[in-house]
Amino acid sequence: MSTTQNFAPAYLAKRMQLIKPSASMMAKKKVDTLRSEGKQVIDFTLGEPDLNTPAHIAQAGMDAIRNGYTKYTATSGIKELLLAIQAKYRRENQLDFNLDQLVVGTGAKQLIFSALSVTLDKDDEVIIPAPYWVSYPDMVLLNDGKPVILETSGDNGFKITAESLEAAITDRTKWLLLNSPNNPSGSLYTETELGDILDVLERHPQVLLMIDEIYEHFSYEQDYVSPLAVDPAIRDRTLLINGVSKAYAMTGWRIGYAAGPSFLIKAIATLISQTTSCASEISQKAAAAALSGDQSCVRDTTALYRTRRDTMVDLLGKVPGVTCPRPAGAFYVFPDIQGLIGKTTPQGKTLGNDLDVVHYFLDAAGVAVLDGTAYGVPGYIRLSFATDLETIKAGCEKLSEACSQLK
């Protein structure tokens, strides 16, 4: 063994001991490995549209390459895209932002991380409702902050209340980080619920609000409402995070954008200038075409996903031991599988928790799902319905058969 291997852990920063790999990325790696070994796996794990990027958007990217738009850009983004983002907020959210209040990043994930990087000092607290996207707590930890996990209940759709938020705020609280529609639960805050939350924040002017709106267009039961449309008074300390990955099936193009007060946007842009410099000019051109072009592709995708959602919920609802609420948004279901915990597999193993259930489904049914523990809520699993109906039907049938074999 080489000297480098012996001392490898010592070379790493201590902060790396605090974080873990993304659960969804690890699941994808495992599925890919099983498939490379010739095994058939139905994959409900990855939060990625199964559709191709719409043709007019892809064409804009190809045109950008042909026309030589392959250079560095301004750190905050090309003006064409910033204008398209500005128009998007006016058209869809009735919100006005100056161009210096907008910034483009290499995915929404980079912008969330950057916002935390430019604001958190050691042990500053970030309130994160559970269930949460798996990356939120680790991004806080990587920036020397302290994630404060705010528990919610499935009884009220996994939403925080004004009372629970008030109780969680301390003099160290720097951010409330919301995700609506939520990954993994699909919960979507109403205008009234947002109003109650914003009333609490108005009493605590030291607390910033970051809201991840990446699933904004996948709202099935009600129109999405942005918090700034509910209470403009909190505008000077609210950061909106969004991107083109989900709505336009552009995950690989890696374009996100943020809107917020100019002091925060400037700080984020400064950090980007010293890290990734700028987002791909090719991708920015395609994103501008997405935001400013025909939006029927988004409406069509939302209608398609509504059908897929209803199919998956109806099928899982027939499985003994599984309770599957109908999500209001995003493209995941988050069923309660506590009725399966404590049961015994045909091989004699007792399912002690949601992780055991996930492994059983993969081994016995060849169906990959994610555990609720990774999202801060044990006893649940997450399944993506961003896949075709035949796959949904086949996968749910396999899960039903695997559950029927439990004793």
CATH, residue 322 = 3.90.1150.10
Q: Quickly state the pLDDT bin for 16 (edges 50, 70, 90).
A: confident
Average pLDDT value for the chain? 95
Residue 66 and residue 192 in one domain: yes
DSSP state, 107? S
Question: Which CATH number covers residue 268?
Answer: 3.40.640.10
Residue 212 and residue 271 in one domain: yes
CB atoms within 10 A of CB 316: 22
Looking up tokens 């996968």 gives: 395
Residue 253 and residue 304 in one domain: no
| pTM more than 0.85 | yes
Is 156 within a domain?
yes
Task: Identify the pLDDT of residue 5.
Answer: 60
Give the tens place of pLDDT for each residue, 313-356: 999 999 999 999 999 999 999 999 999 999 999 999 999 999 99
Domains of the chain: total:
2
Q: Which of 101, 106, 98 is nearest to 73 (CA)?
A: 106
Is 5 within a domain?
no
Residue 316 and residue 381 in one domain: yes
Residue 322 and residue 370 in one domain: yes
Is 6 within a domain?
no
Give the tens place of pLDDT for each residue, 52-107: 999 999 999 999 999 999 999 999 999 999 999 999 999 999 999 999 999 999 99
Q: Which of 330, 403, 391 is nearest to 360 (CA)?
A: 403
How many residues are listed for the chain in this entry?
407
The mean pLDDT of 288-298, rounded to a whole number, is: 97
Q: How far is CA 59 from the centre of its chain?
A: 27
Residue 272 and residue 233 in one domain: yes
Structure tokens at 213: 């709106």
Residue 25 and residue 110 in one domain: no
Structure tokens at 383: 């399944």
Is 73 within a domain?
yes
Is 99 within a domain?
yes
Answer with the one of 292, 308, 341 that is the final residue of a domain: 292
Q: Quickly state the pLDDT bin for 395 (edges 50, 70, 90).
A: very high
Is 7 within a domain?
no
Is 4 within a domain?
no
Residue 237 and residue 157 in one domain: yes
Task: Report the 3 state secondary structure along the chain.
Answer: CCHHHHHHHHHCCHHHHCCCCCHHHHHHHHHHHHHHCCCCCEECCCCCCCCCCCHHHHHHHHHHHHCCCCCCCCCCCCHHHHHHHHHHHHHHHCCCCCHHHEEEECCHHHHHHHHHHCCCCCCCEEEEECCCCCHHHHHHHHCCCEEEEECCCHHHCCCCCHHHHHHHCCCCEEEEEEECCCCCCCCCCCHHHHHHHHHHHHCCCCCEEEEECCCCCCECCCCCCCHHHHCHHHHHHEEEEEECCCCCCCHHHCCEEEECCHHHHHHHHHHHHCCCCCCCHHHHHHHHHHHHCCCHHHHHHHHHHHHHHHHHHHHHCCCCCCECCCCCECCEECCECCCCCCCECCCCCECCCHHHHHHHHHHHHCEECEEHHHHCCCCEEEEECCCCHHHHHHHHHHHHHHHHCCC
d(CA 281, CA 249): 18
Does the pLDDT of residue 166 top 60, yes or no?
yes
- Residue 95's domain comprises 55-292
Percent of the chain with pLDDT over 70: 96
d(CA 180, CA 224): 9
Residue 165 and residue 309 in one domain: no
Residue 310 and residue 286 in one domain: no
Residue 251 and residue 395 in one domain: no
Answer with the one of 292, 312, 340 that is the final residue of a domain: 292
Answer with the one of 272, 292, 312 that is the final residue of a domain: 292
Is 3 within a domain?
no
Residue 183 and residue 315 in one domain: no
